[in-house]
Amino acid sequence: MLHPFLQNDFHIKWATLTPEHIETDIGKALDQARSAVDTVAAQQPPLTYTNTIAALDEGLETLNRAWGLVSHLDSVNNSPELRAAHNAMLPKVSEFFASIPLNESLWKTLRAYSVESRDEDLSPTKRRYIEETLADFREAGADLPPEQKKRAGEIQSQLAELTQKYSENCLDSTNAWEKIVTDEKQLSGLPKSALNAARQSAEQKDTEGWRFTLQAPSYIPVMTYADSDALRKEVWSAYAAIGRSGEYDNRQLVLQILKLRHEFAQLIGQENFANHVTERRMAASGQAALDFSDEIFQKVRAQFEKEAEQLRCYKATEEDLPIDHPPLLEPWEVGYWAEKQRKANYAFDEEALRPYFPIGRVISGMYEIAQQIFGLRIEERDTSRGWHEEVKFYDLFDSETNEHLGSFYADWHPRESKRGGAWMNYFITGNRDLSVGERSPHLGLICGNLTPAVGNQPALLTHREVETIFHEFGHLLHHLCGDVEVKSLNGVNVPWDFVELPSQIMENWCWERESLDRIARHHETGETIPQELFDKLIAARNYMKASANVRQLAFGKMDLELHIHWPDSAEEDLDSFVDNVLQDYNAKYKTQAKSNVFNFSHLFSSPTGYAAGYYSYKWAEVLDADAFTRFQEEGILNAETGRDFRSKILAKGNSEDPAKLYKSFMNRPPDPDALLRRDGLIP
């Protein structure tokens, strides 16, 4: 096929998207995009929305889609050939996108149109997009003098290459390590599910025994259940070393990334990168985001310290040691002893839930819930349409009008060619502007690294993995249910401290009996979770919640401190800097654990990403805890409430101010204490 990456087919022909086409196709897309930019830049009066703002977006669409496909394949099917082709074009693509807001002629045209547009008959959404576009250009350096514009472009291009290398190092460093165990006695304590998965992993590598990796489904069970302190220490040490040494060393990369981000922020007139990132978000400044996090921390600090002391005392008691001054734990002991204490306190073993969470039932039940409350219909299609044999493909319809709102791919299990974590993204934003044509469907994707199937048994998930599926599906619904006439304001293209609301609110349905009965069925008997086990799950829900909150707050604080105060600290040792700013947030251990700053893809795998924005998880968690109270009051499967959420939140994207959208759904501002109340940390 000629130019496979440039095809406009809704059903992507993945088999044709091979590395040898990337350079030619992206080069052609770049030429088309440059021509489109030049056309808009040279546009003569009368200037209109159609021949300026809309024309620019339309002219970049082919490149955005094609490069999106390349980047996606780099995430899910990484190979030496693909990586080489991707990295060969990355500087050119990055340089081009960085040059757009720095194009003086284009900026002159858009500024002129912004004045003329006051007399044009435009919808409020399009007027908002004009304002957003001009703000984007200014934030990227459009008002800078020529020499500084040149430097701004250079910085963005350098950041793209450095962050790509960081991401590759994380993936390669993770894949470079394995642990083969041949003596089953060393695996005492591990549940059958973990042992079977490790045995299967070894067989797939033609190796005897049990194989463990640093991928989450392998790593987490070892840290939680393995009785062998030596095994846990070895696995923990390997994970902690990701990105810290050898050919996959990210330490200098992070320093360069931070310095370039700070230089860029100051170049465009901001005090620091955090202020640059947050200025148009709900927080409005880096310091406000820090203050928000600190306010929550102060409310949970005493309970956090109490939980740490209780865990030390529990271990001391179990080992017949004095509890008046219990010894500190090692960092590789925390998950193990926390799980033992949870079992002791609540007689609850999360592994007992696995048989009730076969992935097929979880997903079909989740779809049933979404269909009932949001007025949707989801149908699985031909599974051969994906980039891997495990990928599934679905169509999503409005249940009342039967309109095809969108389709999506789902790819849930780990591979060595696939980056870690879980995420949602999109390939196509459908048309919702009836002035330029008929409505068309959206196309998105969700990916994860969940427990795989073992032998003939289906993939049996942990409850946390079930939450992960619901979380990413919430992001996906935000895109697929988007009804915004401007594509660039649709779905997840909202301020990042609002983007997690639709995802995190979905996790709440994983805790309610009525909804759990839809998603949890024993893979052999079909029975729902026994009431006794459900009661234990709920009783243990808020176990060590202060510690869980502080862990997330610490990530957010580290992120903000690095992007606010590190540049002025004259501190080259990031570990020392992080240890200092997080000294109150970290429990004390015998061996002080180092930060994950060199293996934190959220912050350093793209030029911006979640950098100076990780706080948004906690920010949105406050919103989701509060918003779900309306479902609890009106019925968690109440279709009227669900459709209200769809129409006032999911459908609106960034067409209006997020605070206004939230208030339209709740009929009031958010309750700042909703999260801590749900977590049982305040009355």
pLDDT digits (tens, 9 = 90+) for 282-291: 999 999 999 9
> Token digits for 288?
């406000």
What whole-number distance in Å separates Cα of residue 616 and Cα of residue 614?
5
Which helix H or strand E contains 73, and what residues bound it?
helix 55-76
Question: 404: which strand partners?
Answer: 397
- pLDDT bin (cut points 50, 70, 90) of residue 666 is very high
What whole-number distance in Å separates Cα of residue 271 and Cα of residue 483?
37
What whole-number distance in Å separates Cα of residue 232 and Cα of residue 453?
24
Cα 489 from chain centre: 19
SS3 29: helix
Name the residue ranges covered by the structural domains of the chain.
4-143, 177-241, 355-539+618-678
Percentage of residues in the chain with pLDDT exceeding 70? 100
What whole-number distance in Å separates Cα of residue 167 and Cα of residue 163?
6
Q: Does residue 559 contact residue 612 with C-beta atoms inside 8 Å?
A: yes
The residue whose two tokens read 């992007």 is: 563
SS3 of 548-584? HHHHHHHHHHHHHHHHHCHHHCCCCCHHHHHHHHCCC
CATH of domain 4-143: 1.20.1050.40
Would you say residue 512 has pLDDT above 90?
yes
pLDDT digits (tens, 9 = 90+) for 70-86: 999 999 999 999 999 99
pLDDT digits (tens, 9 = 90+) for 367-391: 999 999 999 999 999 866 799 999 9
279 part of the active site: no
pTM: 0.96
SS3 493: coil
Cα 225 from chain centre: 27
Of 139, 113, 107, 138, residue with least CA distance to 126: 113
What whole-number distance in Å separates Cα of residue 641 and Cα of residue 650?
13
Q: Does residue 284 contact residue 310 with C-beta atoms inside 8 Å?
A: no
Number of neighbouring beta carbons within 10 Å of residue 93: 23
Q: Does domain 355-539+618-678 have CATH number 1.10.1370.40?
A: yes
Q: Does residue 603 contact residue 560 with C-beta atoms inside 8 Å?
A: no
Cα angle vertex 402, ends 400, 407, to 5°? 120
What whole-number distance in Å separates Cα of residue 435 and Cα of residue 431?
10
In sequence order, what are the residues at sequence separation of 6 or more whose Cβ sits closer than 8 angstroms to the Cβ of residue 98?
140, 152, 153, 156, 157
> Token digits for 335?
């998950």
Give the chain's mean pLDDT: 96
Would you say residue 572 has pLDDT above 90?
no
What whole-number distance in Å separates Cα of residue 434 and Cα of residue 448?
35
pLDDT digits (tens, 9 = 90+) for 150-206: 999 999 999 999 999 999 999 999 999 999 999 999 999 999 999 999 999 999 999
Would you say residue 455 has pLDDT above 70?
yes
Q: Which amino acid is at 68?
A: G
What whole-number distance in Å separates Cα of residue 266 and Cα of residue 247?
32
In sequence order, what are the residues at sequence separation of 6 or more whose Cβ sits closer than 8 angstroms to the Cβ of residue 658?
282, 494, 495, 498
Q: Does residue 475 contact residue 502 with C-beta atoms inside 8 Å?
A: yes
Predicted local distance difference test score (pLDDT) of residue 570: 79
Q: Which residue in the list 333, 472, 500, 621 is annotated as catalytic?
A: 472
Of 221, 213, 212, residue with least CA distance to 191: 221
